Structure 1
Amino acid sequence: MSTRTPRHRRSRAAFAVGLPLALAAAGGLGYGLLGPGGSSHASAATAVPAWATQAADGFASVNALGQNGTYGGRGGEIVTVKTLADLEKYATADKPYIIVVAAAITMDPVGKEIKVQSDKTIIGAGTSGQIVGGGFFLGQGVHNVIIRNLTIRDAYQGVWNDKEHDYDGIQMDGAHHVWIDHNDIRHMADGLIDSRKDTTYLTVSWNRLGQENKAFGIGWTENTTADITIHHNWIRETEQRNPSTDNVAHAHLYNNYLVDEPGTTIKASYGNYARGRTNMLLENSYFQGLANPVIRDSTATLVQRGNVFSGTSGRNESGGTGGSWDPRSYYAYTPDKAADVPSVVKSGAGPRSSLGTTTKTAKAAATTLMVAKDGSGQYTSVQAAVNAVPANNPSRVVIAVKPGTYRETVKIPSNKPHVTIQGTGASRKDTVIVYNNASGTPKPDGSGTYGTGGSATVAVEADDFQARNLSITNDFDEAAHQDIAQQAVALRTASDKIFLDGVIVSGDQDTLLLDTASKDRLGRVYMTNSYVIGNVDFIFGRATAVIDKSVITLKKRWNGTSAGYVTAPSTAANRKGILIANSTVSGDVSDRTFYLGRPWHAGGDATLDPQTTVRNTSLSAAIKTTPWTDMSGFSWKDDRFAEYKNTGAGAGAASTDRPQLTDAQASGQEIGDWLGDWTPSAS
């Protein structure tokens, strides 16, 4: 067997203000711009739907082999197909396409596998996109392919464990950077998914796999080079290869739901299988009713953690000599709790009605404003596009911002709700809004200084605002301006229903100000899949705010020292404050130098009741063993600071200096308790 040499480029260049190299390759948080297109045989979309901008997570997001993540047909035409001829025409073309399958397309002859070429997205239109009696083939060197939201079914030829008909749902031979997501693949002749001949940088997520002898086979090679992520799949009514992984260098399986369905004639002979020299990490998955749920060869390495086994029997194995590895060295992820997997996966896997649909195309085109520094858009600055939004606009306006650095301040006034600012690049780092005002910076008109709130690069005063796939930065130079007040806000929100998805908010002191319009007004913020970077009180304010499934990066001070505070809530009494959940707190700073928070009684207001809860979050050794501290004469012990089931070197046991929620208390401090009747959703 050959030995593996590293081929990863774990990310593009590190973000200038401290985004960790090991986490910067979370391409699943990236977005891309798609242009309009047309065809004499297939109808063409004329706008950029949100689903068309999404990119892969897991190993498919890693930059390697000359490919920066997996974005499919980004940059190509969006075409809608209803016939086999049109599907094959666009899938086999030598240019990028977003191919929307809007009908049940029957393969002719049965078992036909369309030979998909590179730079393609093939996506079902809602639940109507179906491939009947065949599937797709990705050959040697084919890359950057997304197959999503399809039902691929019914090539079965009446023979269980068919040795004659090699009719797969999706077969890959030597491909790389492939994302297979939200499909329903069932009742084929040979297998549902085959990843063969060193296919690598593959992510398989949120699929339903069933009614087949062989679910998912990986290998057919003596090399140990493939890197594969498999998560949130519902595998049931399958007998074997659920999956089996042969000679896979890094196999990361998490949050999958494997069930041997009662009352059927199909019985699983085993669940997950590590073969050859595979090095597998299997975590937070749920195995129900299976015989031999986890098995491995003597030559494989298999590390288990956090899995649930309900009604299983037989072999359940781990071990090996290959050594452990951390997926976060390659990409960011936050697994769901294993106990929640059945409900999460059953409700979320398979085709979604919200994906691939084009019924809102005309509306989207009418309410999308394009910003581009090079003049190729309608506006050359973000603020100019905001200014063009009509006052009291009744519906969503998307400001699509092409890649570039926009050195400006942006303000969304209170009379312009329902605004989305979305970067159109492949990464959050491609579109940057940046400025360098600080609290002590003099205003140009001589009317004084900006103050903390006024220093914000982006200020949001309108309800129902969304931002995604971009960076918002304050690059004030503290070292050069030690003579003025140092607070320098990157993003200030002062309104309700703020949804921040896949963004980087970066600064030093007072990076992210989560405020409300007034002390008596509710202001809810939900941030997910994002990064916040800073050092002193860099998440602060009186909003009811959730930071979920994100990375909080601790940054050294201007003089190279390590000392800081993550949160400084100024919550009003009887309101929720700041909740950090399912996230990671880390950075290139010294051990035991950062507090998780301190109470900010703004203006000395003793009626405030600041709150920070940090739960189910990984804390690095940078966090102090006594993680809360006083501020401006107010004791943190008089306010609301607590943790719950945090992990990592910075976590600690309950004490008078480190309050921990009980299970009963934690049940009242869930994300839903913060957001109330609001369910954030991209629009």
Structure 2
Amino acid sequence: MSEHRSKARHRRGRKVLAAGVPLAVAAAGTLAYGTGLGVLGSGAQRASAATAAPAWATATADGFASVDALGQNGTYGGRDGETVTVRTQAELEKYATAAEPYVIVVAGTIAMNPVGKEIKVASDKTIVGRGTSGHIVGGGFFLGRGVHNVILRNLTIRDSHQGVRNDKEHDFDAVQMDGAHHVWIDHNDLRHTADGLIDVREDSTYVTVSWNRLSDNNKTFGIGWTENVTTDITIHHNWFRDTEQRNPSTDNAAHAHLYNNFLEDVAGTDTASSYGNYARGRTRMVLENSYFQGMRNPVIKDATASVVQRGNVFSGTSGRNESGGTAFDPKAHYAYTLDRAADVPALLRAQAGPRESIGTTTAPTKAATTLTVARDGTGRYRTVQAAVDAVPANNPSRVVISVKPGTYRETVRVPSDKPHVTLQGTGGSRRDTVIVFDNAAGTRKPDGSGTYGTSGSATVAVEADDFQARNLTIANDFDERAHQSLPGHQAVALRTAADKVFLDGVIVEGDQDTLLLDTAAKDRLGRVYMTNSYVTGNVDFVFGRATAVIDRSVITLRKRWDGASAGYVTAPSTAAGRKGILIANSAVNGDVSDRTFYLGRPWHAGGDTSLDPQTTVRNTTLSAAIRTTPWTDMSGFSWKGDRFAEYRNTGPGAGSASGDRPHLTDAQAADQEVADWLAGWTPTAS
């Protein structure tokens, strides 16, 4: 347990292990990047002086790090210097310690040797991870007295922990600053270190810490170690998960502004929170619109400290929750905008930590090409397929097919050699632009070569990566009643067989097998993210082997052709070791009878016993149409042999956990978030 006291605490001298990097860690770096990366002077890559700097290389801080003071005009890091790419510890240390400004891109895993090594960063530096690949293992960074104008972004800094929970011998931090100023720590993943994830010590000031994930640690984030009341710090949009203490602990801070942070103590893990936000000494703290989940002693203060709370949410917390005194007005120092506290958990789970879009390009993105479709001839093309056909093979950049309002009765196929295509309806509503056809699995092809089959029946088929659709309806209006003699009534509206498919603000309508979320091959990854959308159907109408998320959407249940209420929402056919279908933060409803629909059943396509189908439904409102035992068997395969679960659903169709209705534990649910499904991909409208 931690010790609560107001007296400033100081550390003894630092120690570093004499041993080298563990063999497994060193091997991981070699496997990822081979042995031909070169040594200092030959392996680092420099950006051409003629190349325009990307936005992330010129980004500037917000909060207190943006304030002009101490001779420094805000925090902008190394933007005035060269951009270099590093892959070894020697390269990183060379540029981080140089006197000149640099933007340093970490392009792989760097295992620090010796373990605990903290590179001494000089002023005017930006150190940024390339996408999600920039890892610092077994060490970190140190910013000494007078060091200023430093940005640490988009990095994963991890695993200097030496196996002792409250380790007094190995004082290894992810980031430590002693007397530094104007520092921005943003969008990092910091975890499992021997000591602090972040230590802001000895009068360090004008610091902003934003959009980071901090997890799996004991002493997490300490501020102070000084008798002076000097530090000005902003801490916003950070996710503290399973961190025992110092979340943060703030000692003698002149101005500490904390807002929109998410502090989560996950039940059933080895870590239990001791306390959350702590104001010590003569700290003045403003704490706004943060979300505390399951934390013990979520907010505590010394008698000499001031804490002003506004708009925070406390869920399942216990112990001390304190405020009092007068603090300050943050808007007197800088402008900022608050998110709603209720939105903070979902927001940070999706957006905190390293981003694929940061550190990954050295040139401006080419503007999208737009092709216009209109049935009345006022566009360049009259059909959507004609516009798709006009996209050049292997197009390197975004092509937007802008579809004017109307009903387009056609089938559309986006082939695999035409990536980066967006279908965009231009009407005021997603109902204004409709792409519809009526093929079914048993429909015979016009050339007499057989029937379409399930996948071939799709109105829109997407086989190209990085596809987007928004503000339109995709439907299959096959009439089952009129075609009772036809074998195969599966009628797909939309089939995806690609990776990074983003469906935003669309309607997908059908009856049986409406939305087929597939992959290009069984061994290929196919991620799909659907949000702000509607899916309608009755039998297995969300199905396939893709890693797919339906988020903040409405799933509408329909009666069958004969008026009967009976059906299945999902039929995943997930490959073993992959994630399947996730329905999150959504609603399942419809004009059907109570207790007539299952949430899902396992589809072992072709009788494939190697598959491991998965559906998780979480934080979703379920209508009374959902059965009390919401999962069922399929084609001789028991659902209990696969992966079906719920978590914190609500509504009349929700139910308590049982052997026939498994619920995730909090710890299991923490690994089944939207971000876990997307695996480093951040869907962005373009």
**TM-score, normalization by structure 2:** 0.50
- Pick from 413, 416, 423 the counterpart of residue 415 of structure 2: 413
Is the 2:586–2:621 contact (alpha carbons within 8 Å) kept by the matching residues of 1? yes
Q: Which residue of 2 aligns with 1:630?
A: 633
Give the Cα–Cα distance (whole angstroms) in 2 for the partners of residues 341 and 509 of structure 1.
Answer: 32
Give the Cα–Cα distance (whole angstroms) in 1 for the partners of residues 509 and 491 of structure 2.
Answer: 10
Structure 1: runs of 5 or more not aligned: 1-235, 238-259, 272-283, 295-303, 315-333, 354-358
What do residues 13-62 of structure 1 show as CA deviations (whole Å, max 9, x unaligned)? xxxxxxxxxxxxxxxxxxxxxxxxxxxxxxxxxxxxxxxxxxxxxxxxxx
- Are 2:497 and 1:494 aligned? yes
Give the Cα–Cα distance (whole angstroms) in 2 for the partners of residues 571 and 612 of structure 1.
Answer: 9
Tell me how far 1:588 sits from its aligned partner: 1.0
Distance 1:337 1:642, change over 3 A: farther
Is the 2:349–2:675 contact (alpha carbons within 8 Å) kept by the matching residues of 1? no
Tell me how far 1:290 sits from its aligned partner: 5.0
- Pick from 580, 584, 588 the counterpart of residue 581 of structure 1: 584
Secondary structure of 2:559 counterpart: coil
Tell me how far 1:311 sits from its aligned partner: 3.9
Q: Which residue of 2 aligns with 1:660?
A: 663
Is the 1:290–1:311 contact (alpha carbons within 8 Å) kept by the matching residues of 2? no
Q: Which residue of 1 aligns with 2:447?
A: 445
Tell me how far 1:518 sits from its aligned partner: 1.2
Tell me how far 1:338 sits from its aligned partner: 5.8
- Are 2:683 and 1:680 aligned? yes
Tell me how far 1:307 sits from its aligned partner: 11
Letter in 2 for 1:409: T
Tell me how far 1:536 sits from its aligned partner: 0.4
Letter in 2 for 1:639: D
Distance 1:335 1:628, change over 3 A: farther
Give the Cα–Cα distance (whole angstroms) in 1 for the partners of residues 341 and 311 of structure 2.
Answer: 20
- Pick from 459, 476, 479 the counterpart of residue 477 of structure 1: 479
Give the Cα–Cα distance (whole angstroms) in 1 for the partners of residues 464 and 677 of structure 2.
Answer: 20
- Are 2:367 and 1:363 aligned? yes
Tell me how far 1:291 sits from its aligned partner: 6.9
- Pick from 508, 518, 522 the counterpart of residue 521 of structure 2: 518
Give the Cα–Cα distance (whole angstroms) in 1 for the partners of residues 309 and 616 of structure 2.
Answer: 41
Distance 1:573 1:335, change over 3 A: farther
Give the Cα–Cα distance (whole angstroms) in 1 for the partners of residues 644 and 311 of structure 2.
Answer: 41
Distance 1:311 1:427, change over 3 A: farther
- Pick from 384, 387, 392 the counterpart of residue 385 of structure 1: 387
Tell me how far 1:559 sits from its aligned partner: 1.3
Q: Which residue of 2 aligns with 1:544?
A: 547
- Are 2:661 and 1:651 aligned? no
Tell me how far 1:343 sits from its aligned partner: 5.8
Is the 2:470–2:506 contact (alpha carbons within 8 Å) kept by the matching residues of 1? yes
Letter in 2 for 1:340: P
Is the 1:293–1:313 contact (alpha carbons within 8 Å) kept by the matching residues of 2? no
Letter in 1 for 2:654: A
Distance 1:477 1:377, change over 3 A: same
Give the Cα–Cα distance (whole angstroms) in 1 for the partners of residues 534 and 347 of structure 2.
Answer: 29
- Correspondences of 1:77-156 after superposition (within 5 Å): none
Letter in 1 for 2:389: N
Tell me how far 1:378 sits from its aligned partner: 0.5
Give the Cα–Cα distance (whole angstroms) in 2 for the partners of residues 676 and 368 of structure 1.
Answer: 30
Give the Cα–Cα distance (whole angstroms) in 1 for the partners of residues 646 and 348 of structure 2.
Answer: 26
Secondary structure of 1:399 counterpart: strand
What do residues 575-614 of structure 1 show as CA deviations (whole Å, max 9, x unaligned)? 1111111111111111111000000011111111111011
Q: Which residue of 1 aligns with 2:374?
A: 372
- Correspondences of 1:157-306 after superposition (within 5 Å): 290=308
- Pick from 599, 609, 612 the counterpart of residue 609 of structure 1: 612
Q: Which residue of 2 aligns with 1:340?
A: 345
Distance 1:533 1:345, change over 3 A: closer
- Pick from 513, 528, 538 the counterpart of residue 531 of structure 2: 528
Number of residue pairs the alignment of both structures matches: 379
Tell me how far 1:337 sits from its aligned partner: 4.7
Q: Which residue of 2 aligns with 1:395?
A: 397
Is the 1:565–1:595 contact (alpha carbons within 8 Å) kept by the matching residues of 2? yes
Give the Cα–Cα distance (whole angstroms) in 2 for the partners of residues 499 and 424 of structure 1.
Answer: 17
Tell me how far 1:392 sits from its aligned partner: 0.8
What do residues 446-475 of structure 1 show as CA deviations (whole Å, max 9, x unaligned)? 111111000000001111111111110001
Letter in 1 for 2:392: P
Q: Which residue of 2 aligns with 1:504?
A: 507
Distance 1:307 1:386, change over 3 A: farther
Secondary structure of 1:363 counterpart: coil
Give the Cα–Cα distance (whole angstroms) in 2 for the partners of residues 588 and 341 of structure 1.
Answer: 29
Letter in 2 for 1:445: D
Is the 2:370–2:400 contact (alpha carbons within 8 Å) kept by the matching residues of 1? yes
Q: Which residue of 1 aligns with 2:437?
A: 435
Secondary structure of 2:387 counterpart: helix
Letter in 2 for 1:661: L
Tell me how far 1:344 sits from its aligned partner: 8.4
Is the 1:292–1:313 contact (alpha carbons within 8 Å) kept by the matching residues of 2? no
Is the 2:557–2:590 contact (alpha carbons within 8 Å) kept by the matching residues of 1? yes
Q: Which residue of 1 aligns with 2:565?
A: 562
Is the 1:438–1:452 contact (alpha carbons within 8 Å) kept by the matching residues of 2? yes
Is the 2:367–2:398 contact (alpha carbons within 8 Å) kept by the matching residues of 1? no
Is the 2:349–2:673 contact (alpha carbons within 8 Å) kept by the matching residues of 1? no
Is the 2:440–2:478 contact (alpha carbons within 8 Å) kept by the matching residues of 1? yes
Give the Cα–Cα distance (whole angstroms) in 2 for the partners of residues 343 and 553 of structure 1.
Answer: 28
Tell me how far 1:643 sits from its aligned partner: 0.7
Secondary structure of 1:575 counterpart: coil
Distance 1:572 1:335, change over 3 A: farther
Is the 2:574–2:580 contact (alpha carbons within 8 Å) kept by the matching residues of 1? yes
**TM-score, normalization by structure 1:** 0.50
Distance 1:506 1:306, change over 3 A: farther
Give the Cα–Cα distance (whole angstroms) in 1 for the partners of residues 321 and 502 of structure 2.
Answer: 37
Q: Which residue of 1 aligns with 2:575?
A: 572
Structure 2: runs of 5 or more not aligned: 1-255, 258-278, 300-306, 326-338, 359-363
Distance 1:347 1:631, change over 3 A: closer
Tell me how far 1:532 sits from its aligned partner: 0.6
Secondary structure of 1:368 counterpart: strand
